[in-house]
Amino acid sequence: MLEFSKKGFGVTKRKKTRKAARPKKRKRLLDQVIQLTGIPSQTIRRELQAIIHRHNISPEELTLDQLRTVAASYLREIMGGLLETTHLKRQDRTH
């Protein structure tokens, strides 16, 4: 690179910049969540992937905000199923 100073033109060397070392391959966010739930992995993976697919989200590019949406949907489905089951059981008792 040429520089102009009071002494005239000169050549300066650029310092080499090191690229940041890539971290070891990180687990995808979805894999981490599945592992941490304590729910059998095949079951929870299948259910979360179905929700992710319905929301048109790429599992490989899942963000934390998207995960929150998926988790909320999952909880709504679980709670809805429990409420429906409980309601049906109560109806059976009265008949």
- Quick: pLDDT tens for 31-73: 999 999 999 999 999 999 999 999 999 988 899 999 999 999 9
Q: By percentage, how much of the chain surpasses pLDDT 70?
A: 66
Tell me which amino acid residue 33 is. Answer: V
Q: Report residue 60: phi and psi, to 5°.
A: -75, -25
Is 36 domain-assigned? Answer: yes
Q: Which helix (DSSP H) or strand (DSSP E) does residue 4 occupy? A: strand 2-5
Question: CA–CA separation, 57 vs 69, rounded Å?
Answer: 11
| Alpha carbon distance 28, 18 (integer Å) | 26
Residue 49 domain flag: yes
Q: What residue numbers bound the domain in which 80 lies?
A: 27-94
Has residue 2 been placed in a domain?
Answer: no
Give the total number of structural domains in the chain. 1
The whole model's pTM is what? 0.60
Does residue 88 fall inside a structural domain?
Answer: yes
Tokens 């000169």 map to which residue? 10
